[in-house]
Amino acid sequence: KLGNAGYRVYDASRVREHLAPARTVVDLHIEKLTDNWKHLSNFDILTIQLKEFEKFYDLAIAHHQPSLVVIHGVGTGKLRNEIHDILKTKKEVKSFVNQYSADYGYGATEIYFGY
C-alpha cells in the first residue's frame, strides 16, 4: 500500500544498499563542511559540526562499521567534549579514545563499536 501512495518501499534485508556510503574518517573542521562559514557564530558552527557528526555516526552504525575516526581538531576542546558526552550515552559504543596519532595529533577521537 505504501508503494501505491508514492513511497519507496525496500526489502528490509537490503536496506544498506539504499543508504548513503559510510566513512571511516569524518573531518568536522567547519571549512571542510561549508564554504560560507566566516559569518557564523560559534554556536552555529558547533551546531553544524554536531549535526554532521550525528549523520556519519548513524551511517557507521547502519553499515555496522567496526570503528569511526572523528577529526574535531584541538582548539578549545568544546567540540571534542560535546562529542565525548554524546558517545557516553550511545549503547553501540564499546569504547572511544582521544590519543596522539601520527595522522591527526590529538585532534581526533577513535570510536569502536560493539554490536
CATH number at residue 92: 3.30.1370.110
Inter-axis angle of helices 78-87 and 42-62, nearest 10: 40
Whether residue 13 lies inside any domain: the answer is no
Determine contact, residues 18/10, Cβ cutoff 8 Å: yes
Residue 7: predicted pLDDT: 74
Domain that holds residue 87: 19-113
Burial 15-45 (b: 16+ CB within 10 A, else e): eeeeeeebbeebbbebeeeeeeeeeeeeeeb
Tell me, what's the pLDDT at 1?
57
- Give the pLDDT of residue 20: 82
Q: What pLDDT score does 4 carry?
A: 67
* pLDDT of the residue at 98: 96
> pTM for this structure?
0.83
Q: Is residue 35 part of a domain?
A: yes
pLDDT in tens, 45-69: 999 999 999 999 999 999 999 999 9
Set of cell numbers at residue 72: 574535531
pLDDT of residue 95: 98
Alpha-carbon radius of gyration of the chain: 16
Residue 85: inside a domain? yes
Q: Which among 95, 93, 94, 70 has a CA at the least distance from the CA of 83? A: 70
Low pLDDT (below 70) residues in the chain: 1-5, 9-16, 18
Whether residue 70 is contained in a domain is answered as yes
Dist CA 72 CA 39 (whole Å) = 20
